[in-house]
Amino acid sequence: MNALQLRLQQRLQERRQQSLYRQRLTLSSPQGAEVQIGTERLLCFCSNDYLGLANHPQVITSLQENAARYGVGSGASHLVVGHSGPHQELEEALAEFTGRPRALLFSSGYMANIGIMAALLKRGDAVFEDRLNHASLLDGGLLSGARLQRFRHNDTDHLKQLLQQRADVEGKLVATDGVFSMDGDSAPLGELATVCAEQGALLVVDDAHGFGVLGANGAGSLEQAGLSAREVPVLMGTLGKALGTGGAFVAGDEDLIEGLIQFARSYIYTTAIPPALVAATLVSLELLTTEAWRRPHLQQLIARFRAGAEQLGLPLMDSQSPIQPLLVGDADAALRLSEKLRSDGVLVSAIRPPTVHAGTARLRITLSAAHNEDQVDRLLDALQRHA
C-alpha cells in the first residue's frame, strides 16, 4: 500500500475511534417535517429548509415546466453558452430584492465565497474573519494569498485591534457570517460596519442562514440590522436553505459584479446552475411575499421550542434563529443522544469536531415553517425522555 493511502487509512481509523466518523443518510422522500429513511418515518429537525419551500407544489411545477422548456442541464459555464433567460431574470430579481444594483449567481455558497476572495484580494492584502465563520469563508481567505487573521467570535474590539495593527496595509477585508451556522447567533453587523468604515476595510457578509428568514420582508440579516448597501458592500446569500432550491448569489455594485465575472475562477470555470432550477427559485423568491405567513409562523415555533426547553432545563445556546443548538460537550455523548432520539422517531444531527471545537459537540436542532406546534411538542417530549 502506498504511504499516502496508508496514512489516509490511519486517519479514518482515528475518526472511528474518537466517535467523529461522519456517515450519510439516504432519504427516499422529499424534504419536509417528516422524512423517510429506509423503512423509518422520522420527524426531521436537522434540515436547513427553514421556510418549508423545498417541496412546495408551485416550486415543483415551475421546475417541471421549465425542464420541459430548457432541458435539464445548462450545458456550459455562464461565459460560454450556459447563461439562459431564467439566470438573467433571477439575478435581476435578487438585485432588486436585496436593494443592490446587480447580483450574480454561483453554483454554491462555497464557490461564491471563494470567488469573492479571489476577485478582491491579492498577496500582501489582509483578511480578517470571525473565528466561527463558515469553512467556505475561511478557505476563501486562505486560498486568496492574503494574510488571514481570525478575531474572537463577535468581538468587534478585538477586530479593531487587529485592523489597527495592520494600518500599513492598503487592501483590508473583513468577512463574517450573518447568522452562524453551528451556534445560530447573529453577528453584530452594525458595529462591524462602523469598525470597517473607521479602519478602511471592506465588509463582506455571508447571509446563508439569514436570507429569506430575517427582516421584515425576508431580505435577511442586513434588513434586520437596518444596514445599507453602502455599509455592507458585499452580500452573499444561498438559495438552498430558506428558498429550498440550490445555488447561491453575490449582490453588490456594478464594479463588484463585473470584477467577479472577470476574476472569480469559481464562477468562470463552473457549469451554470440548471435553468429549470433557477426558474423554480424565482417562484420561491415570489413566495417570500405571497406566503409571508411562513416567517412569523417559524418565529412562533422557535419561541415555543425555547420556552419548552427552558422549562426542561436544557442547555440551549443563545439563538433566536431557526438553528437551536443543544450543547452536549462530549462527541460520543452527542452521538448517543442523537441515536436515542432517532429510536424515538425524531431525527436530529449530532455535530462534532472538527466542525465545532473540541468539547462543544452538540445536537443542531433546526426548525422549519413546515413544522407545526404538535411536532415541536413531540421533539420536546423526546428530549425530556433522553436528554
Please give the positions annotated as active site.
Answer: 181, 209, 241
Secondary structure class of 46 (helix, strand, coil): coil
Measured in residues, the chain has a length of: 387
Nearest CA to 159 out of 105, 132, 196 is that of 196
DSSP collapsed to 3 states, 346-367: EECEEECCCCCCCCCEEEEEEC
Return d(Cα 311, Cα 298) in angstroms, integer.
20
Secondary structure class of 127 (helix, strand, coil): strand
Q: How many of the other CB atoms lie within 10 Å of CB of 289?
A: 10
Task: Detail the DSSP E strand segments found in the chain.
Answer: 34-37, 40-44, 102-106, 126-130, 147-151, 172-177, 202-206, 234-238, 248-252, 323-329, 346-347, 349-351, 361-366
> Positive or negative, the Cα torsion across 272, 276, 277, 282?
positive
Nearest CA to 209 out of 305, 304, 322, 133 is that of 322
Residues 266 and 77 sit within 8 Å (Cβ to Cβ): no
- The pairing of strands 202-206 and 172-177 is parallel
* Cell numbers linked to 12: 479514518
* Cell numbers linked to 209: 442562514
* Cell numbers linked to 214: 430575517
Return d(Cα 91, Cα 103) in angstroms, integer.
5
Residues 76 and 274 sit within 8 Å (Cβ to Cβ): no
* Cell numbers linked to 49: 429548509
* Burial (CB count within 10 angstroms: exposed 0-12, middle 13-18, buried 19+), residue 313: exposed
